[in-house]
Structure 1
Amino acid sequence: MEEVDKILIHALKQVGTEVPEEINSVKQFSSELIVEAVVRCIRVIDPGLSSTLATSLPPGMSARFRVGMSLAQACQDIGYKGELGYQTFLYSSEPEIRSLLMFLVEKLPRESAETSDQPTGKSVVLERTIAAAIKAHLAVPWLPPKCRLPLNCETQRQGVMHSFHVQPLSLTNCTKGSSKRHTKGSPPTHGQPVQGVTYFPLKACLSVCVCVQQELPPVAKTIPTNHQSEGDVQLGQQEELAYLQQQFQQLCSEVDHLAVLDELKQRELRNSEKEEKIQVKKKTIDLLPDADNNLLKLQALVEASAKRVVNLASQWEKHRAPLVDEYRRLKDICSSKDSSKKLSEIKSLHEKIRVSTEEAKKKEDAYKQLVTELENLPQDASRSAYTQRILEIVSNIKKQKEEITKILSDTKELQKEINNLTGKLDRTFAVTDELVFKDAKKDETVRKSYKYLAALHENCNQLIQTIEDTGTILREIRDLEEQIETENGNKTVANLERILEDYKAIRQENASLAAKVREG
């Protein structure tokens, strides 16, 4: 069990349990350490169950009992089939705790298990916790402050939040008389439109932003240094100001040109629509002077169209009749039993093909995932050592089975030999008894030997019975010794002493509560 305990302690350290270095087996676990290990394993297996579980025992006995019952219920909810109660955690026995910890370690998710060559301790656990918190915050998508729900506000909180303001693009100095022209294309705002501000379409604004981004010179060149004189600085600023004014005027002219082009396009669209309407009206007006002849021509066209429609309908009927017959014939075939069976078989085959493709995709994904996990696993010596140790244990178990089988076969052979000798002895005694009894009627010496023979046979039977009773007693002694060892391993005496101490503590708590009730 030493190897099993080492593996369990290593796994418990991986999930964050603070196991002291001097503890090397489950037998040395205290109640506090058992509770902490179980709670941390449950937190990794199912975080929803561990929301109300604490990693330490409270001082009060009634609270300890409640913690033990809640832990037992949580373990049963996870799927533990053994018997559990508060006594498992407060008055623990080594076999029960070992089986419970083995179950919890087996239930741990594989992705949360770390490799055995990585260091363990408080610092490593703290680093993993910080990394997990950072990863969780990075996984949350960023949202603007105005679009965040209360939950997002908690997860995306910053020290200082500045609201995002939208300002319209205004050029008041370079656009003379163009405000009226562009008011129609201005975007809607939340408040009233500002006077003296000219609004432009979205294309013009984007082109202005691109031009400003491409043509503005770097401003950092105008920052004066300690070696420049004030005159040079003023001269550079004047030159930069003139250049910026020139660029600004060019941008204003480009914006005006773009606005004019936009308006011209809209006018061209409206003119094209009006021209189409004018052409229609012009054709109708041209037909008015000779209205009678035009009406006759239109009637002739309508009659010709009607005749053409009737001719097409007759042709369609000629083609439609054989198609309808073919449709009915196929429908009758489909409604027959054979066709229905074949159709059901085809549907079942299609369903099987679909299920098989889905299973193949799932298995392929699982195969890829397992291959990536295998590639990510480190090829360290500890894994090979564990594998070698497991193989040695398996070989030892095989040897023990062979020895047990050999002992059982020897025992069966001895039992057969004993049975044969017993039967032979009984038959020999019966024959001897008969012969001696015949002669005992005639001779006094033979009569005495007959008595000695009967006494010898009875004493041998008693001796055999005594040996059998001795073997039975020895087996019972061995069973009792094993039970004593088991009880010693369960720490029965220590648990009884702890139960008595807890009972006294509960009585003291009850007495103090009763005193408080009387005082109240």
Structure 2
Amino acid sequence: MAEADAFIFAALQQSGMLEASFQGSSWSVSALTSDAFIAIVFQFLTQLQTSDDNVTFTLPSTLTNTPVGVAARHRVGSKLANILKELGYAGDCGYNHFLYPSEKETRNILSCFLSPQAAEAEDDKFAIIQPQSFLANTLPDVPLSLESVSPGIAGGDVTSGDIIMESVGSSGVATKNVAGEENFMQTQLSEETEEQALEQVQKQVDDTEHRIAAMRKVLDRERGELQQVEQHVLETQTTGQEMQKQLARQKQLITMLPQAQANIAKLESIFQKNAEKKAEIAQQMESARDPLLKEYAQLESQKSNRKARCRQLIREMKTFRSDMLELTGVIHSKMESVRALERIHERQLAKLDKKKDCQDEGPMTRNMYTARIMDIIKQVHKQKQDITKILDDIKGLQKQMNVASEKLKRTEAVAEDKLYTAASKSKTSNSGKSEAYVECYRKFAQVRELFEELIVLVGDVGKKENIARDLQNWISQLEARDSSSHLDKVLADLESVRHENGTLQNELRACSA
């Protein structure tokens, strides 16, 4: 960063854009203020406008000093930013970079528009060198050789400079051709050698792959043979152990042959001991059999109890179904009563409206209008309370139905499981009760299907009743919208309200005056 700041400082000093207060040696981009930055950019653009005729931008007309107001500074900053973008600056540039300059963006902008000046200065140094001085310095022998040329050739159409340039050009072309041919030959040779080396390497790779594949096959074969040998060794070990056992038995028999009487006595004693052990085991079995039989009897009783419980659950299911049907009837009756109450309420409201219309023959005042509105609001609140009560009753009934349906589902699942297990056991035992259990299970499945169909039918009936109620409400709403008979009264009320508003406004004006 210090090198970049030094380069920018030198370029600004050379171009004369830096003020006298910044001519010290401790100058840096971070110390550059907004006013100084705007002045430097403005000086650069003025120099560019005076030096280049192709520039088409227009600078701000009054910029002797930096603007004091924020709006003026904003305009100058946005104008300078647009000019820099037109000149080809590709970075982020806006009025914020001039009002609140940052070190990074300031360095980027200054280095961007100062680097072309340095490049132009270098180009000018090389442009100052004339072709004649370049030839005189590089080719000093050319003028001496030209003096010996005959005057006829010198006076011809071809000048000395053209002859020199042609000779230099021809020699350069010849050397370039030779060098190009040599380079082409070398590249061809190097490519051929590289191709040969690649072919050899590829052959070696193929050979190694073939060898690896063959070695893998050999390894697989040897592994299979090794496994076979291991299996054979295990088999031989097992046969050897069996033969050792047989040999030990035969040795015992051989040792027992010389003393046959003593061995027979020993065997008889062993037989008696085994008989005694057998009797003891039989007694133990008898003693252990009694609790098992008792446990079996308990399990049988539990089984009978479970069967009785299943029958009880079936009876409860039937009662739950009858209760559900009764609840559905109660719900329908409640809904019908709600509809009847709504109709009665509407009729009463209509009667009250008619009575009020008959009583209020004169024009309505503001108080009367507000009183009527308050009465309507009270009636709406009462209707809402009635509706909430009815909805609470419906929710309670729905909860009871849900509880009953869940209990019914549980009992159905338990009953189905028990009936199915009993039927399956009876089939396996081939007893006479199997047909009865199967028939009971079938009837149970039929009852469940009929109950599901009944629930679907009840739901359809409820949906149809809801649709009919919605249609009835829609018809009543359409009939209520026919308010053409009350239009005259509404217009009269509106006129009275306007008249009352006018009088109130006049009173307010009088009070304010």
For normalisation by structure 1, the TM-score amounts to: 0.22
Name which structure has the greater RCO, CA cutoff 8 Å, separation 6+. Answer: 1
| Structure showing the higher helix proportion among its residues | 2
For normalisation by structure 2, the TM-score amounts to: 0.22
Q: Which has the larger radius of gyration?
A: 2
